[in-house]
Every structure is written in structure tokens, then in C-alpha cells.
Amino acid sequence: MFEMLLNADMQAAALNVLIWTTAALCAGRWPVERSRRRGRARAVTLLALVGIGMLVVLMRITTVTLMGREAWLFAVDRVAVALPALAVPAAAALVGTLPRLVTWVRRPSLETRIAAFAPTAVVPLQTGALGALVGLWTALFTVLAPPLLGPALLIHSAVVLFAALAWFCQTRRWLAARSRPRRRASRPVRALRAVAAVTAVAVAGTATVNLAAASSKLPDSMSMAPADGAAGGHHDGGESAAAGGTTSVTALTGPRDERPDRRFTLVAAEKTVRLASGRTVRAWAFDGQLPGPTLRVRQGQLVEVTVRNELPGANVAVHWHGVDVPNAEDGVPGVTQNAIRPGGTHVYRFRPDESGTHWYHSHQQTSVQQMKGLFGALIIDPPKPAPVDHDWYLAMHSWKTEDGATVPALGLADRLERRRAAPGERVRLRLLNSDRLTHEFSLTGTSFRVTALDGNAVRGPTPVSDRKLAIGAGGRYDVEFVMPDRPVRLTEIQDFVGARDRGLLISADGRGEVTPDLPSREFDPTPYGTPAPTPFGPGSRFTRTKTMVFDNEIGFYDGRFRVTWTVNGMAFPDAPNLTVREGDLVRLRFANRSHFDHPMHLHGHHVLVLSRNGRPVTGSPVWLDTVNVRVGEVWEVAFRADNPGIWMDHCHIGDHAVLGMMMHLSYENVTSPYRVGRATGNRAE
């Protein structure tokens, strides 16, 4: 619903620019002697334009009102800036322009035309055109977000100044027209004026575009550590502490002197892999596997992973998604380490306190490397795991094949995969979305229980049926059921084209056919399960509160014209970061008024969901590491700042992160010696 309103609002904004600009140009033309018939035709045309302009203003007011009913944050920028800039001139036109146009229509003459040339008639249309342009610009090119007082005052002051200048100029033109009416200029003169105007606009436009492109270039090298004195700046080396009591991320490591309980080695290299359909993928893989090898450990074990890079000409780094590791082990190049260069190695050590379904992936140019295959499962078993007969990990991913196609698959199964389970056996499906968009799944043939979200156990899960599971990029759902005496089918239904040929079919003998269900209603975790005490909640006293409004806008970013994804109207590196002290209780509000879902992933912490779209959590506590904020949604979450460091906070759709939706959470007095940018070899996005 919200996306439909958003599109309608942008269309209304564009219509306002078209109608009001045309009306302003027509009204501002110098009065000349015309025949009565041609004069009336001109008057009727202008009157119709103004009338249509009033209607499209009402259309914009309506769309903004409906957006505000969804959530105030979705409309606040338009109410503060776009609507006043448009509605006030429209009201002035209703009083000053329409009566003169009606008179001109009724008595078409040079006298009534000159009366309609008065500043009281023309300036409202000119100011309305500017107001309409402001509304379109702030909807498409420079999206505004709270706090709005400064931008609103600046924009409205500029509009008032424009109106005053327009009034002054139009008054002089009107007085001149009254004293010495003139005939229309000859066609060659008009053509020469048009060519001059077009040339001037082209020159100014080209200069503006070149300046915008150049100024949008990202630095070749920059620090991700806070620039203010609270964080103590950055250092040239990896000292564990510096003057002023600061701590470097290099000191925030996992245990280095203890003997690890589990050791793994992951080798990143090129590999050509064949999908179930026979199509081949020229991939980057860990240990030659797609997905990479499953790392299975127990909660509390000391884990050591050595990563060796054998990729030609590409750096790598590995992030442990969903595991609150010490900061130095987080695997973010340019923030917690330097990327691993070809031929190099890096050793990660951590002792996971959490359990459940997690995963690892490259955090060097995630939008490229993860999508090419550098990811795998990290399953952390609790001390007493719930027994099941079948425990299957399934990663939803889109592979770019050598023939140029993008092929969705569960693992490497881009065709219907069949597995066996006897009636009465317990089946656990660990669903991971390692793709770059939200995927929706249906499970046909049995009811099921959602037993974990992002690896966090759900308390008191109950049977679910006739619901689709929407999993955002980076998210995980654990689904369990008792195998019935009939086949069961898991199907990805977000893109149903070809869905009957994909998915997982489970039966006693691996045979059978199941027509996939297409549930219209989505599973909502917030009322699901049984309530339980939490260390904090909606009524807690928060020491930090931050609102993040997600938008998309069109413009230059890093030297190229493209769609940019913004937080509070700004893109990386200007997107608003958050600085906390250890022990802070932090509340975050996410509002998505863009055209795409945003699965927000805060490294090093789990967040507790407080509410979704204004409705509090009434079921099992919902702990997440990746919050999939769908289009038109508002989420409130909270976390305890208990893991010092500098942590990435970004949309887990890599294409969004690389185009601006990337921030970081910094603890006071924590610094980093590392830098990001093209010149450094570290690309954290």
C-alpha cells in the first residue's frame, strides 16, 4: 500500500511541475494585440491550466495525507517543505489569478489581457512553479529527513526571496505593458531568443553536472574511526592503547594464548561449479564448495579459523554474521583489519556465546564477493541441542552463470531437489537468505513451527500454516515439523516464474508431486510464541535514541549518476553514525519510505524488537541481528552497548551498501589504524 502511495505522490509532484511551469510561462508572456477569438482561446487555455494545477495540488495533498496516516515519518518532510512551497502559491493564485483569468475569458481584449499580466496574477503561478519544483526535487533528488527546521527555513526563505524578486520584475513589466503595448516579435527574433536560452541552459547544466559528478567522488583513503576528540583519532600502527586512554581495535581480540577447541582452514579460490540444471558458474569459493563448507561448533568452544586467499588480484576478509565476536575478529577490511591480499592469510579466533544458525561471508566488496560464492554456514550447537532426525541447511542464492543468466537456487539446486524422510521423523530446515533481495517461502503439505529467528530460539513456538515466510537478505529462519505420510514441499514464491521447477520436495521414497501453496499472508514473528522476561523493553530508560529514515534518491555518487540509498537524507560517508559508551541502552527506530526492503545488520550486537508498525511484541522475545525493514514499515529495536569497538551498521543488500546505506557504531575512545578506499585495498561495503 505504501509503495503505491509513494509512486502516486511522485507522479503528482511531477504533474505539478509540468502544469504550474506551463501556466507560469503562458501567463508571463508579454501581452500583444490579438483577435477576439485567439485572445479567448489563450485565456481559456491558461484558465484550464490553472484549474488543472489546483486539482494536482489537491492530489499531492491527498497522497501526502494518506502517507502520513501510514506513519508520520513518511510524510513529515513533505508537510514541512513540499506542501507549503506549493499550497501557499496555489492559494494566492486562487485569489489573485483566477478572477483576472475569468474576466479575460469573458471579455477578451488587450485591456483584460494586461490586467491578467499584473503581478498579483502572474507571480503566484511563477512561485507555484518553483514550489512544485522544490516538491519534485526533494522527492527524487535531495530527499529530506528530520531534523527539518534548518532545511525548511532555508528553502522557504529562498521561495519567499524568489517571490519578492519575481514581484519586483513583474511589476516593472506590467507597468511597461500598460504604458506601451507592443506587437509580438518576429519569428526570427523569437527563434534567436530561443536558441540563446537553450544554449545558456545547456552550458549551465553541463557545468552543474560536471561539478556534481566531481564533488561526489569518494576519497581514495579515509578513516572509519570517529574524527572527533572523543575517539582519540587514528594511528599509523596497531598499538593496543594510545595517549588519552584510547583503545585500538587491534587490542579487542579473541583469546590468543589458549589452545583452540576447533580449528578450520578456509581457502578462497576460483572454481567452476555446475548447478543441478547443468549450467556452470565461474565462482569464487571457499575450499572449492558452493556454498562454502559448513563450520559446526559448540557454544562456548574456542574457534580458530585460518583464511588463505588464493584469488588472483582480489583481496578478501571474512565476517561471522550473527556472532558477537570481539571487534578485531569481525572481518571488516579498513575497520577491524586490513584485507587479506592474494597469497596472504589471516587467523580469526573467537568463543561464541550464542548458539543457532549463523553464517560467514566475505566482507570485502560484499556485493561482488558474496554473490560470487564466498559464504557458508556457521552452526553453533547449544550444550543440549533439540534432537531431530534430519537437520538440513538451505541457502537461497542467485548465481550468475557463464551464459549470462541469473539463476535462483537453494544451494546449487536450481531445479526441484528431492530428499527422503520417513513419516514420524523430525525435520529441521535451516533457511538462510544469502541473496540480495527478500525471498518468500511456502511450506506445503504440513504445518510447521518456527523455532529460531537469526539463530535465536523462539520460546513456545506453535504450529503455523497458510503463511509465507519472508526472509530478508542475511536473515535466517529455523523451521521444524514432523514428517507426515505425504510429501512436503518447500518453495520460494517471491518470484513465482519457474517456481514449480525449483524448491525442495521431501517424501518417504523421494518421489511424489506437490503443488506449491501461495499464501497471501506473511508470518509475523512479533505475536508468535510465548512471552518471556527480557533484560530491557519498551518501558526502559534509554541513554541513546536514534531515528533512521531510509530513502532512495537519484543523483551522483562516487562520480556516477545512479540511484543512491540514504539514511536521514545522507549517504556514506556522510550517513549519520552513532557513538555510544559501554553500558549504554540504545533504542533505534527504522522507517523505510524507499522503494525497496532494507535488512539492517548491526555487527557485534543483537537487537531486541520493541515494536513493528506501532504494534508491540506480544509473543516470544524477538532477538535479531538483521532487521528486514520492508517498504512502508517502521520498527523499533533496542540493544545494550556491551561489545566495545567500531562496528559496521548497514543494509545487507550489498548493492544498497555500496551506494550509500552504510554507517558505523563507534564506542567512545576506540580507534582504528586501518583505512578504507580505492587506494588502500580495503573495501568494507
User: Which residues have a Cβ under 8 Å from the Cβ of 354 and sit 6 or more positions away?
Assistant: 299, 322, 323, 324, 380, 455, 456, 606
User: What is the residue-averaged pLDDT of the chain?
Assistant: 92
Percent of the chain with pLDDT over 90: 82
Q: What is the pLDDT of residue 35?
A: 72
Residue 137 domain-assigned (yes or no): yes
Chosen domain end from 490, 523, 556:
523
Residue 207 domain-assigned (yes or no): no
Please state the rounded mean pLDDT for residues 238-252: 69
Q: Give pLDDT tens digits for 542-566.
A: 999 999 999 999 999 999 999 999 9
Q: Give pLDDT tens digits for 262-299.
A: 999 999 999 999 999 999 999 999 999 999 999 999 99
- Taking the C-alpha atoms of residue 648 and residue 161, their distance in angstroms, rounded to an integer, is 43
Residue 206 domain-assigned (yes or no): no
This prediction's pTM: 0.92
CA angle 91, 93, 96 (to 5 degrees): 110
Q: What is the pLDDT of residue 540?
A: 96
User: Which residues have a Cβ under 8 Å from the Cβ of 464 and sit 6 or more positions away?
Assistant: 447, 448, 449, 450, 523, 528
Q: Are residues 288 and 372 both part of a single domain?
A: yes
Q: Are residues 413 and 328 both part of a single domain?
A: no
Residue closest to 459 by CA, chosen among 624, 619, 625: 619
Please state the rounded mean pLDDT for residues 58-68: 96
Residue 226 domain-assigned (yes or no): no
User: Which residues have a Cβ under 8 Å from the Cβ of 3 and sit 6 or more positions away?
Assistant: 595, 631, 632
pLDDT for 429 beyond 70: yes
- Taking the C-alpha atoms of residue 49 and residue 100, their distance in angstroms, rounded to an integer, is 14
- Which three cell numbers mark 481? 515439523
Residue 34 domain-assigned (yes or no): yes
Residue closest to 650 by CA, chosen among 601, 588, 591, 592: 601
Q: Which domain holds residue 570?
A: 532-676
Q: Are residues 34 and 121 both part of a single domain?
A: yes
Structural Rg of the chain based on CA atoms? 30
Q: Are residues 173 and 286 both part of a single domain?
A: no
Give me the CATH number covering residue 349.
Answer: 2.60.40.420
Cβ 477 vs Cβ 438: under 8 Å:
no
Residue 202 domain-assigned (yes or no): no
Q: What is the pLDDT of residue 238?
A: 35
Q: What is the pLDDT of residue 183?
A: 63
Residue 575 domain-assigned (yes or no): yes
Residue 536 domain-assigned (yes or no): yes
Q: Are residues 511 and 606 both part of a single domain?
A: no
- Which three cell numbers mark 247? 583503545
Q: Are residues 507 and 579 both part of a single domain?
A: no
Chosen domain end from 523, 540, 572:
523
Q: Are residues 282 and 427 both part of a single domain?
A: no
**Maximum alpha-carbon separation in the chain:** 99
Number of CB atoms found within 10 A of residue 541's CB: 7
pLDDT confidence bin for 225, thresholds 50/70/90: confident
pLDDT confidence bin for 240, thresholds 50/70/90: very low
Q: Are residues 507 and 543 both part of a single domain?
A: no
- Alpha helices by DSSP H, listed for 339-439, are 366-372
Packed helices 36-70 and 83-96: angle between N→C axes, nearest 10 degrees: 150
Q: What is the pLDDT of residue 499?
A: 60
Q: Give pLDDT tens digits for 436-451.
A: 999 999 999 999 999 9
The total number of structural domains in the chain stands at 4
CA distances from 574 to 218, 277, 298, 373, 570 (A): 11, 45, 40, 30, 6
- Alpha helices by DSSP H, listed for 330-380, are 366-372
Q: Are residues 373 and 450 both part of a single domain?
A: no
Q: Are residues 478 and 335 both part of a single domain?
A: no
pLDDT for 333 beyond 50: yes
Chosen domain end from 523, 549, 572:
523
Question: What is the pairing mode between strands 375-381 and 292-298?
Answer: parallel
Q: Give pLDDT tens digits for 70-90.
A: 999 999 999 999 999 999 999
Q: Are residues 416 and 436 both part of a single domain?
A: yes
- Taking the C-alpha atoms of residue 434 and residue 374, their distance in angstroms, rounded to an integer, is 10
- Taking the C-alpha atoms of residue 167 and residue 533, their distance in angstroms, rounded to an integer, is 65
Q: Are residues 177 and 39 both part of a single domain?
A: yes
Helix (H, G, I), strand (E, B) or coil at 78: helix
